[in-house]
Structures are given as structure tokens and as C-alpha cells.
Amino acid sequence: MPDDRDAVWLVAGLRTPFVGVDGPFANRDSLTLSVPVVQAMAPQVNGSIDLAVWGSVVLNLAYANLAREVWLESKLDPHVPTYTTIMQCSTSMVGVFEAAGMLGQRRAALAMVGGVESMTYNDLAPWNYAELPKTLGCADWFTARVTTLGELDAAMKSARASKSGAYIEIMGGKMDMPPALAFAHGQLKAMYGDTP
């Protein structure tokens, strides 16, 4: 029977509150939301942290390694290895699995794992995405940028006729979402109410 030295322990963490899109956290990205959480978690640790795994729901290209940026901005030991995991809504869970694998192999004794997100802040960079294939050397691809269903129908017809690849950039409203996601959004709103 394994003793406590072989066990991997999960402990409770901290979190920011759920708030609505464009709510109180509208001007905060993953880094600025993460730093106070990590700064509050770190003093609760008994012993040194050997590893940190941190992430967010959506990749932000402003940070090559969000976990490292969070760690350094939090003024924690710069010698601790940190890495970022981005796995949509399962980021923290996957981070726990990754850290547990390292702890189980005795590569580390204590890990800090977590992540945050502000969906308000996840506007896509204002690029001309329909030009990406040409930029990447695929000049013979069919590309289009569409804003209406009629434009999408026409673009799909052209894409089917294309002898090479196709890339269609579909422009939608900020809150456009499929019915299932709208339902989930409504359920969260019912559970947590409107936020200021």
C-alpha cells in the first residue's frame, strides 16, 4: 500500500467572481486578472513551489508564455519553472493533470495550477484574416470575407469549385452564438444574475 510520500494531493484554490461580458473586468486581460489571484495563492503555501502551470480559455498572442508573465508580475521566485496551458474551458483541469504527472514522477513536490479568463477582452486582432493564405504562400487558394448569409452561400459555392484550398472569414457580431451556447449563457445568467 502506498504511503503519503506517493500521494498526489489536490487542494482548494482561489477564484475571481463570475461577472458578465463587458462587466467590471472588461478592461482586464488574462495577465491582469491572474496576478492578484496568484499573489493571494502564494502566501497560503507551506514550503517552496517547484512548478507553476497557468492558463486561460483563449490564447492571447501578446504573451508567449502567460504563466511566466503572471509569475514574474506576481514578484515570485524567478527560478521556478512555469508553463502555459490553453485548453478552452478545461485549462485548469488539464493543468492539474499535467502537474500531477510531474509530481507523481517526483520531478517536483509542490505545484501551483490555475487560470483565468475575461471573455470581454478576447476580441480578435483586427487583421484581414482572408489574406492569411496568400501571406503564407497559398496564392491560388479561394479566399473571401463574408458578413451575410447570402455572401456565405456564394463563398461556399466558389469554395466547392476551387481546385485548391479555400479560406472563408465569417464576420459576426460580438454576441453572436449558436443556440446551445446561448442556452448555457442564459443558465449562467440565471445562476449568477446580472452583474454591474
pLDDT along the chain (196 residues), means of 10: 58 69 78 90 86 85 89 95 85 83 76 78 69 87 92 94 89 77 76 61
Closest CA to 170 of 161, 178, 182, 162: 178
pLDDT at 9: 64
User: Within the chain, which residue ranges are assigned CATH 3.40.47.10?
Assistant: 4-121
Q: What is the CB-side half-sphere exposure of residue 27 using CA atoms within 13 A? A: 1
pLDDT at 39: 92
Residue 91 contacts by C-beta under 8 Å, 6 or more apart in sequence?
55, 56, 57, 85, 115
185 CB burial (10 A radius; 0-12, 13-18, 19+)? middle
Handedness of CA 14, 59, 32, 117 (dihedral sign): negative
The answer to whether residues 133 and 159 touch, using CB atoms and an 8 Å cutoff, is no
Measure the CA–CA gap between 80 and 78, rounded to whole angstroms.
6
Q: Which CATH architecture is the domain 4-121 placed in? A: 3-Layer(aba) Sandwich (3.40)
Single pTM value for the model: 0.61
